[in-house]
Amino acid sequence: MSQKTATHSNDNPFESMMSRFDEAARILGLDEGSYNVLKSPQKSVIVSIPVTMDNGTVQVFEGFRVVHNANLGPSKGGIRYSMDVNLDEVKALAAWMTWKCAVVGIPYGGGKGGIKCDPRKLSKGELERLTRAYTDLMVDVFGPDKDIPAPDMGTGQQEMAWIMDEYSKLVGYSSPAVVTGKPLVLGGSLGRVEATGRGVMVSTRSALSKLGISPVGCTCAVQGFGNVGSISAKLLAMQGMKVLAISDVTGGYYNPEGIDIEAAIAYRDSNGGTLEGFKAERISNEQLLELDVTVLVPAAMENQITADNADRIKAKVIVEGANGPTVANADEILNRKGIMVVPDILANAGGVTVSYFEWVQNRLGYFWTEERVNRRADRVMKTAFEAVYAASQKHNISMRIAAYVVSIGKVAEVEKLRGKFGI
Ligand code: NAD
């Protein structure tokens, strides 16, 4: 069977995803038909987006939307604005969304979108025209029951508000449920901003409890100090953990006595968004990964833990806040060292879980308290962790492959039950 002989490169995100998929498919004994269906995105749309720039010229941007699988429900996934956006990356991210939604048991398939652009070089007006034009071109793809975008790198609440407005104009009625990650006043959910970091904290607690380690006094290092990293660090510190190091694009900040996370967040917010100049011992992002801590949370970007540095990692638990922070060929080294890795598709699924709650609230026209959002999201994360842990014990496999086994098994079963191959 083709998956038995497939080899995959590690720097291509789709290939990296497929190497884990292959391993899980072998364990599940997935038949060749299901394998071929699930590895292929159901829909890939590429559009050329003409935008009138502020200086009167017309620039054409390339935009993508990939629906990897929509059999558990409408496809769900963010929209990324970055010069690195390409079809392979969007395909990988869309597949990860399928597995992520399935692993936490929310009724969504997986999708992802992106526009190849540098949002920092565009004015607000240009960004608005670009986002609206992209929405116009995707009007037949998007829909509250079809495909529901959300923010990703380079996009945020403002872009979601424009998408919601443009889509609503095109269909002729207000449709807040077409997109999540909206501003609160426009139908966003309480708890959404903190949701991913909160899920990282809940996953960390679950992992530590399996290892019989108390979070109180236990040490950790967090790479990345944006939405996911800073909120993870804050909530881990609130559990009594000592955060010895944090980092961002400006480098790492280390204090053997523990970093005051609230102070670091306040510093970042008053310092143009970075930690540059924050008072602590300076280390590099690479050194942070290799610190002697119990828990390591990579929460910045992909390809940070590789076959080159995996052997030097000392943490007992890695909780992947970022998407794809570990390349596939580092997995074996981490496994050999006995490190428990809570994989991205489980650890950072708190965000999409609360996005789902946002969509539910939009459809109900009724809003939940933050306490209710958090309680339900925590329950989803704990249940998913236990299911993945049980699969890892049953098959004697890593938590990463177990997460793929749980999710691919679920999507394959639905595929069979529905008895069809398309959307
Ligand atoms: P963000 O833009 O808010 O923060 C990114 C952080 O990483 C910033 O502190 C930035 O300075 C830092 N960074 C950038 N380049 C770096 C580098 N070379 N070395 C070290 N740090 C660097 O982004 P975010 O929303 O926190 O997302 C972080 C990761 O988590 C991404 O992989 C994203 O896909 C993933 N994720 C985010 C969410 C969410 O809800 N925001 C959900 C699931 C997964």
| Shared domain check, 209 and 152 | no
- Ligand 1 atom at minimal distance to the Cα of residue 229: 26
The residue whose CB lies within 8 Å of the most ligand 1 atoms, and thus the one to mutate among 180, 227, 234, is: 227
Asked, for residue 396, whether it belongs to a domain, the answer is no
Residue 77 confidence (pLDDT): 97
- Ligand 1 atom at minimal distance to the Cα of residue 300: 7
Contact predicate 9/33, CB 8 Å:
no
100: exposed, middle or buried (C-beta count within 10 Å: 0-12, 13-18, 19+)? buried
Angle of CA points 344, 350, 355, to nearest 5°: 120
At 247, is the pLDDT very low, low, confident or very high (cuts 50, 70, 90)? very high
Q: Lowest-pLDDT range, 198-202, 325-329, 336-340?
A: 325-329
DSSP state of 180: S
Asked, for residue 139, whether it belongs to a domain, the answer is yes
* Mean pLDDT across the chain: 95
CA of 307 to the centre of ligand 1 (A): 22
- pLDDT at position 103 over 90: yes
- CATH number of the domain within which 70 lies: 3.40.50.10860
Provide the domain limits for residue 112: 41-177
DSSP per position, 66-112: EEEE-SSSSEEEEEEEETT--HHHHHHHHHHHHHHHHHHT-S-EEEE
| Shared domain check, 330 and 200 | yes
Which of 120, 145, 177 finishes a domain? 177
At 7, is the pLDDT very low, low, confident or very high (cuts 50, 70, 90)? very low
224 lines ligand 1 (CB under 6 A): yes
CA neighbor of 201 nearest in space, from 224, 230, 226 = 230
- pLDDT at position 30 over 60: yes
| Shared domain check, 163 and 54 | yes
| Shared domain check, 159 and 205 | no
The catalytic position among 76, 91, 100, 112 is 112
398 lines ligand 1 (CB under 6 A): no
- CATH number of the domain within which 305 lies: 3.40.50.720
| Shared domain check, 249 and 340 | yes
| Shared domain check, 236 and 155 | no
CA of 1 to the centre of ligand 1 (A): 37
CA neighbor of 44 nearest in space, from 16, 74, 69 = 69
Residue 14 confidence (pLDDT): 82
180 lines ligand 1 (CB under 6 A): no
Q: Could you give the C-alpha distances from 216 to 104, 220, 229, 255, in angstroms and in order?
A: 27, 11, 19, 18
Residue 3 confidence (pLDDT): 37
Enter the pTM of the model: 0.94
At 4, is the pLDDT very low, low, confident or very high (cuts 50, 70, 90)? very low
Give the type of residue at 116: K
| Shared domain check, 224 and 134 | no
Asked, for residue 204, whether it belongs to a domain, the answer is yes
| Shared domain check, 201 and 165 | no
| Shared domain check, 208 and 299 | yes
56: CB partners within 8 A, 6+ apart: none
CA of 81 to the centre of ligand 1 (A): 13
Which of 298, 323, 347 finishes a domain? 347
228 lines ligand 1 (CB under 6 A): yes
Instruction: Please count the structural domains in the chain.
Output: 2
Contacts 24+ apart (CB under 8 A), 46-55: 46/87, 47/134, 47/137, 47/138, 49/115, 49/130, 49/133, 49/134, 49/137, 50/133, 51/126, 51/129, 51/130, 51/133, 52/129, 53/126, 54/123, 54/125, 54/126
More confident residue, 417 or 234: 234
| Shared domain check, 115 and 61 | yes
95 lines ligand 1 (CB under 6 A): no
- Residue 112 annotated as catalytic: yes
> If DSSP codes are grouped into helix, strand and coil, which group holds residue 297?
strand
- pLDDT at position 416 over 90: no
Asked, for residue 226, whether it belongs to a domain, the answer is yes
- pLDDT at position 231 over 60: yes
Asked, for residue 170, whether it belongs to a domain, the answer is yes
CA neighbor of 247 nearest in space, from 217, 271, 226 = 226
- Ligand 1 atom at minimal distance to the Cα of residue 228: 26
d(C-alpha 186, C-alpha 190), whole Å: 12
114 lines ligand 1 (CB under 6 A): no
CA of 169 to the centre of ligand 1 (A): 32
At 420, is the pLDDT very low, low, confident or very high (cuts 50, 70, 90)? low
Contact predicate 134/141, CB 8 Å:
no
Residue 9 confidence (pLDDT): 52
Which of 151, 177, 203 finishes a domain? 177
42 lines ligand 1 (CB under 6 A): no
CA neighbor of 203 nearest in space, from 340, 374, 347, 320 = 347
The residue whose CB lies within 8 Å of the most ligand 1 atoms, and thus the one to mutate among 196, 354, 355, is: 196
Asked, for residue 28, whether it belongs to a domain, the answer is no
CA of 37 to the centre of ligand 1 (A): 31
Asked, for residue 81, whether it belongs to a domain, the answer is yes
Asked, for residue 327, whether it belongs to a domain, the answer is yes
User: Which residues make beta-bridge pairs with 113?
Assistant: 65, 79
Residue 422 confidence (pLDDT): 54
Contact predicate 218/353, CB 8 Å:
no
| Shared domain check, 170 and 237 | no
| Shared domain check, 171 and 202 | no
- pLDDT at position 309 over 50: yes
